[in-house]
Amino acid sequence: MNDRLAGALVETAPDAVIENVKPQVDGGRFAAKRVVGESVVVTCDAFAHGHEKVACVLRYRPRAQGWSEIPMEFLGNDRWRAAFVVDTIGPWDYVVQCWPDHVESWRESFARRIDRDDAMLAARTGAQLVAASAANASGSEREILTRLASILADERDIGKLRAAAADETAFAIARRRAPREGGCESAALSVTVERERARFSTWYELFPRSTTGDSRHGSFADLEERFDAIAAMGFDVVYLPPIHPIGHEKRKGRNNATTAQPGDVGSPWAIGSAEGGHTAIHRELGSASDFRHLVRSAKLRGMEIALDIAFQCAPDHPWVREHPDWFAKRPDGTIQYAENPPKKYQDIYPIDFSSKDWRALWQALRDVVAHWMREGVEIFRVDNPHTKPFPFWEWLIGEIRAENPRVIFLSEAFTRPRVMHRLAKLGFSQSYTYFTWRVGKDELTEYFTELSADESREYFRPNCWPNTPDILPYHLQNAPLSAFRVRAVLAATLAASYGMYGPALELGENRPRDPGETEEYLDSEKYEIKRWDLNRAGNLRPLITRLNHIRKEHAALQSDWSLAFHPTDNAQLLCYSKRAGGDRVLVAVNLDASNVQSGWVTLDLASLGIPADMPFTVKDELSDAAYPWRGTRNFVMLDPAKAPAHVFSVHVG
């Protein structure tokens, strides 16, 4: 039932209690997260003193609209549950109401009465309660309740009285229309509802300037020529590093050399020059019109452009001259460049959020995001948000979403867990994760169990990246191509959202600048134009394409909460599953990129929804091979030189 009612509690002495309402984040300080079409399952503890029964309802609404209401289901031990489906983007509110259920308490007491005279007197009390409910009803419901009240008040046949008291239909109406006396209401809690891509997305990162196939500086037109290939691989988000003018002053050279040589293009993250700042476009990439055409072209292929937001400036950014107070000074009066000792970024000035002119600064930064949103961008990857104040992000995201609630923000914060989680609570739709460095079976199991089952899942949505332009993790340095296959399979199947620094992963780029000492690439694309031979033999494009196809075909891989791990008797074999209704996907991965590994998997059939004695078939979606399985123990063998994993669809019967 879904009644749009006033839902008013009668102002009488309070006599009910509501506790432990979930989901809630930090006592309701922050919103839980959902996407359109998902359910919000609300639970609580609710009770009154003594043996009095209580009634509970869940009330919910898109903010600023009318309330809808549904009764909550009693689970036993004072526990209640109900759920509602969110069907529009934006903020939603929900509350729980509880009040003593005098009608049901009367019915339970009446059924235990043995003495006839006692029962007759009690029936008159029931009549008064039903009459009070009838006063709140109308139409046929009022007629039913008025007739029931008359029977309870006037009938002298005890058998007929008991039959009337047993009328489930009539008393369901009486309970629903009863005055809500002695009740209470929980604090209002909220849910931020986003579009589906906030939960399920597949990101491909590349540098537009490296899309010509030679040493020439690429343009938006060159990038657009890559779109068909990227779309064919199954990606729906094309993420671009900053597209703005790059500073000339203190520009970095190749391999992060302190001094640039003639022709060195610099780092896109050193934003701004005399040509403009955060709302300008690097002249060799194209014009504003070219960019708008790029955004439209991506959408025609079912993809979106995600733009990098990096709130930092090159030394010759216009803001450095126009707003010197927005930057911190060193004791000698010079502006402090960015550093993370021993790393130094002489080509980047961090913004001083402690500036006395902080209000104007905040507004200018908000205007940057609003500018690109109005140019058609609805996804932003935010660079290092953990180095900026938390209140700033809460304000900025709120401002942007008030104008366009479709906007998605990805937090690139590889930092302490509580900081990452705070950013997620403040409104970031997705977050980078520690997956990049989780390698072993135990640490992968522990970490992804946390991501999928911990209460933090209500607000923290993981986006897993095997590599980034900044990070060639140690386990991929000088590693064989099979190691990149393993990481691609894990990222694509453990998380509903994943991304890759595309060309480098496709080709298994494994050369570190300083092996074992830094995660920087040799000849990093951050500092030079790269020529990628994407068609060379041995590339991972067929595997990546197949994985992304599987993700789109199987709803089980499009969310995170159903993830379950299954024990194996080999430390190099990881097995896990996901499920969405009747869609089941079971993945077995050989974590050893160099050697064949085999072993027995012990399946948790309950998590897969498979009866213990039911035969089932597993079909490897990577190879199309099918195997009949039965029971909990089954054997797998994986050769990384051929295929590092099975990605099984599971068919019961």
Q: Which residues are known to be catalytic? A: 383, 412
How many CB atoms within 10 Å of residue 307?
Answer: 24
* Residue 154: φ, ψ to 5°: -115, -20
Element spanning 160, H or E: helix 158-165
- Please check whether residue 210 is in contact with residue 506, taking contact to mean a CB–CB distance below 8 angstroms: no
Q: Are 594 and 482 in contact (CB under 8 A)?
A: yes
Q: Tokens 């900025």 sit at which residue?
A: 396
* Contact (Cβ atoms closer than 8 angstroms) between residue 461 and residue 498: no
Q: What radius of gyration, in Å, describes the C-alpha atoms of the chain?
A: 31
Q: Do 324 and 244 meet the contact criterion of CB atoms below 8 Å apart?
A: no
Q: What residues are paired with 418 via a beta bridge?
A: none
Hey, how many other C-beta atoms are within 10 angstroms of the C-beta on 118? 11
Residue carrying structure tokens 């009866």: 611
> Can you tell me the distance from the alpha carbon of 42 to that of 85, in angstroms, rounded to the nearest whole number?
11
Pairwise CA distance, residues 644 & 546, whole Å: 14
- State the amino acid at position 412 in one-letter form: E
Ramachandran assignment for 275, one of left (phi > 0), alpha (psi -120 to 50 degrees), beta (any other): alpha
Query: In 346-407, which ranges are E strands?
Result: 349-350, 379-383
Question: Amino acid identity of 148?
Answer: L
3-state secondary structure labels for all residues of 53-71? CEEEEEEEEECCCCCEEEE
Inter-CA distances, 529 with 222, 239, 241, 251, 253, Å: 13, 17, 13, 15, 11
